[in-house]
Amino acid sequence: MAEKNSVHIPVLFEAVVLGLEPKPGMVIVDGTLGGGGHSRALAERIVPGGTLIALDRDPAAIDAGERFLRGLPVRLAQANFCDLPEVLKAVGAAYTATAGRGFAERVDGVLLDLGLSSDQLADASRGFSFSSDGPLDLRFDPTAGVPAWRLLERLSAEHLADLIFEFGEERFSRRIAKAIVERRRGNPVRTSRDLAELIGRCVPKTRDSERIHPATRTFQALRIAVNDELKSLEIALRRIPDCLNPGGRFAIISFHSLEDRRVKEAFQNDARLKVLTRRPIRADESEISQNPRSRSAKLRIAERMK
Ligand SMILES: C[S@@+](CC[C@H](N)C(=O)[O-])C[C@H]1O[C@@H](n2cnc3c(N)ncnc32)[C@H](O)[C@@H]1O
Report how far ligand 1's centroid is from the alpha carbon of 249 (Å).
18
CATH code for the domain defined by 123-228: 1.10.150.170
CATH architecture of the region 13-118+230-304:
3-Layer(aba) Sandwich (3.40)
Q: Is 123-228 in the same CATH topology as 13-118+230-304? A: no
Q: How far apart are CA 83 and CA 243, in angstroms?
A: 11
Q: Which amino acid is at 293?
A: R
The average pLDDT across 47-73 equals 97
Q: 31, 26, 61, 10: which is closest to 252 by C-alpha?
A: 31
Testing ligand 1's pocket by substitution, the residue of 140, 258, 262 carrying the most ligand atoms inside 8 A of its CB is 140
* Beta strand pairing call for 27-30 and 51-56: parallel
Strands (DSSP E) found in 31-179: 51-56, 74-78, 107-113
Residue nearest ligand 1's atom 27 by CA: 34
Distance CA 264, CA 152 (A): 32
pLDDT of the residue at 31:
98
Per-domain residue ranges of the chain: 13-118+230-304, 123-228
Q: How far is the CA of 114 from the centre of ligand 1 (A)?
A: 6
Atom of ligand 1 nearest to the CA of 37: 8
- DSSP SS3 for 27: strand
Nearest CA to ligand 1 atom 24: 116
Centre of ligand 1 from the C-alpha of residue 188, in Å: 30
User: In whole angstroms, what is the distance from residue 40 CA to residue 105 CA?
Assistant: 22
Per-residue pLDDT reduced to its tens digit, 12-43:
999 999 999 999 999 999 999 999 999 999 99
**How many C-beta neighbours within 10 Å does residue 102 have?**
9
Question: Looking at ligand 1, which residue's alpha carbon is closest to its atom 15?
Answer: 115
Q: Which atom of ligand 1 is nearest to the CA of 13?
A: 8
Q: How far apart, in whole angstroms, are the C-alpha atoms of residue 180 and residue 199?
A: 9
Q: pLDDT tens-digit profile of 234-280?
A: 999 999 999 999 999 999 999 999 999 999 999 999 999 999 999 99
Shortest-distance atom of ligand 1 to CA 111: 6
Which residues contact ligand 1 via a Cβ below 6 A? 8, 10, 31-32, 34-38, 55-58, 61, 80-81, 113, 115-117, 140, 232
Condensed to tens digits (0 to 9), the pLDDT of residues 100-144 reads 776 778 999 999 999 999 999 999 999 999 988 989 999 999 999
pLDDT digit string (tens) for 159-202? 999 999 999 999 999 999 999 999 999 999 999 999 999 999 99
